[in-house]
Structure 1
Amino acid sequence: MAIAYRQHIDDDTEFALWKIEEEANDLYVQLQLNEEEKAYVEKLSNGKRHLHWLGTRVLLRKMLRTDEYIDCKVDAHGKPYLVNLPYHISLSHSFDYAAVMISRTHKVGIDIEQIKEKVERIARKFMQPQELAFIAEEKRIEHLYVCWCAKEAVYKCHGQKEISFVDNIFLEPFNFEHHGVLDARLQKNELNIDYTVGYMQYQDYMIGYVKGDV
């Protein structure tokens, strides 16, 4: 399967989606992995988690346009980074899709989620009452998913643990559209960072993406 969707944010920043239709081995043979990575893949059960790990790495390789080995590691906070290539990266996946965002100049964050009714049940766990107040009833589920994806994208962009979606990441009121932007703010102790978050609905998935500081 080729890249399903690709969007350039600026000259140095872009994201893409990959629809995972291949078998695990078809993805595996497109990668160059070291022994540690091979051992990790072998420990994954043959299911979505396995396909997601492989799919995000194949998409990353396609976006970087390289056949060379990509040394992609995860730091102490769980944020992926490239050891020897000058890019900030963010990875996400949901059901049949992998998503990757890269930038030469800025920290980035991306999240993709399949739209399901269950978000209604957990809304109060990641939204403040004043945020819930601006959710439109007509497109309530989609509107809530934008909020979740936006907060997840900001969390990934910041790249530090112990950040609460409900207590530290705040969204300004916005009207839901299929493709738009919203303002977000991360506050914790001395931290006070403003973000402009992009979002889009792609089929029955929602994507949130953000470009942060240099």
Structure 2
Amino acid sequence: MPLYKTITTPNNSKVLIWKIEESYEELLQGIQLTDNCRTRVASMKSEIHQRGFLSVRHLLKKAGYKASDLFYNSSGKPHLKDGKHISITHSFTFAAIIVSDGVIGIDIEKQRDKIGVIAHKFIDYEFNYLSSDQVRELTVVWCVKESLYKAFATDGMSFKQHTKVIPFEIGEQETTGWIIYNDQLEKYEIKFLEFEGFTCAYAIKSEI
């Protein structure tokens, strides 16, 4: 089974990344799905989404959990029964989870030129520091903002209006993210990495 990368952070968060190389049938092996999981995966029309869903269940197993340990609240945010925080993502041929004692979020996206077409929908302040390598930088910004959105998980939150990504260099693989929503202000430590044409970013809430 292709566990692609494991990252353990100093604050006791763990990131697990899976490269999805197996078939749907192969991914069904070695894990125990709940009845709800079976219903959900059977309802998915795309096989790549089915394989992403099953890959996440393999990542849960690698992290020491069963599929039945995962549940979702009314807003669709995932939780673990032992009280730890979890965030989940998958994109094409990669899936990932992050598990932590604190509030976290994670996202993986494929680097594609078309991100430039939709940039105005999720970027405002960040346009001030983008360089010529915009596909990679925009993908980092998108991943960071998606991670912040998953961490905050509040209805009505806007990527463009309520999140800010502090200027960064691609080679540094870290930055800071802010959520400014009504009277709430939250700061997040951001780490990101690139591999095989994909970008992954994860956000860990920090003290202000």
- Short-chain TM bin: over 0.9
For normalisation by structure 2, the TM-score amounts to: 0.92
The 10-residue stretch of structure 1 (203-212 or 23-32) with the greater mean CA deviation from structure 2: 23-32
In 2, the alpha carbon distance for the partners of 1:120 and 1:112 equals 17
Alpha-carbon distance in structure 2 between the residues aligned to 1:14 and 1:73: 19
User: In structure 2, how many angstroms separate the alpha carbons of the residues matched to 1:2 and 1:47?
Assistant: 18
* Corresponding position of 2:74: 76
Conservation of the 8 A alpha-carbon contact between 2:34 and 2:68:
no
| Unpaired stretches in structure 1, ≥5 consecutive residues | none
- The farther-off stretch of 202-211 and 9-18 is 9-18
SS state at 1:10 partner: coil
Q: How many residues align?
A: 207
**2:74 partner SS:** coil
Contact 1:18 1:59 in 2 (8 A): yes
1:61–1:70 CA contact under 8 A, matched in 2 = no
SS at match of 2:90: strand
Tell me the equivalent position of 2:114.
118
RMSD of aligned Cα (Å): 1.7
Gap runs ≥5 in structure 2: none
Paired with 1:143 and 1:135, the residues of 2 have a C-alpha distance of 7
Instruction: Spell out the pairing of 1:105-184 with structure 2 (5 A cutoff).
Output: 105-128=101-124, 130-137=125-132, 139-177=133-171, 179-184=172-177
Q: For 2:169, what is the secondary structure of its paired residue?
A: coil
- The CA deviation string for residues 27-69 of structure 1, in whole angstroms up to 9 with x for no partner, is 12222122222222222235111111111111121122x5x55
For residues 90 and 170 of structure 1, do their structure 2 counterparts lie closer, same or farther at Cα, with a shift above 3 Å needed? same
CA distance in 1, matches of 2:187, 2:18: 29
Q: Partner amino acid for 2:51?
A: L
Alignment match, 1:206: 199
Residue 193 of structure 1: which of 186, 190, 201 is its match?
Answer: 186
- C-alpha separation in 1, matches of 2:144 and 2:67: 32
2-structure distance, mates of 1:37, 1:156: 21
